[in-house]
Amino acid sequence: MPRHFAIVPAAGSGARFGAECPKQYLPLAGRPLIFHTLLALCAAPRIDRVIVVLAPDDGWWGGYDWRDLGPKLEVVYAGGATRAASVLAGLRAAATAAADDDWMLVHDAARPCLSAAMLDALIDSLAGDPVGGLLAVPVADTLKREDTGGRVAETVPREGLWQAQTPQMFRYATLLAALEAGSAVTDEAGAIEAFGLRPKLVRGDATNLKVTYPADLPLAELIMLARREREKQ
Res. 232 pLDDT band, cuts 50 70 90? confident
Q: What is the pLDDT of residue 19?
A: 63
Q: What are the pLDDT digits (tens) for 158-216? A: 999 999 999 999 999 999 999 999 878 899 999 999 999 999 999 999 999 999 999 99
What pTM value is reported for the model? 0.94
Position 14 scores a pLDDT of 60
Q: Which domain does 67 fall in, by range?
A: 4-232
Burial 113-136 (b: 16+ CB within 10 A, else e): bbbeebbebbbebbeeeebbbbbb
Number of domains in the chain: 1
Tell me the mean pLDDT in the region 57-86. Answer: 96
Residue-level pLDDT at 17: 63
Looking at this protein, which amino acid is placed at residue 30?
A: G
Q: What is the CA radius of gyration of the chain?
A: 18
Question: In this prediction, what percent of the chain has a pLDDT beyond 70?
Answer: 97
- What CATH code is carried by the domain that includes residue 110? 3.90.550.10
Contact call for residues 90 and 7 (beta carbons, < 8 A): yes
Residue 27 CA to residue 112 CA, distance in Å, equals: 12
Taking the C-alpha atoms of residue 28 and residue 123, their distance in angstroms, rounded to an integer, is 27
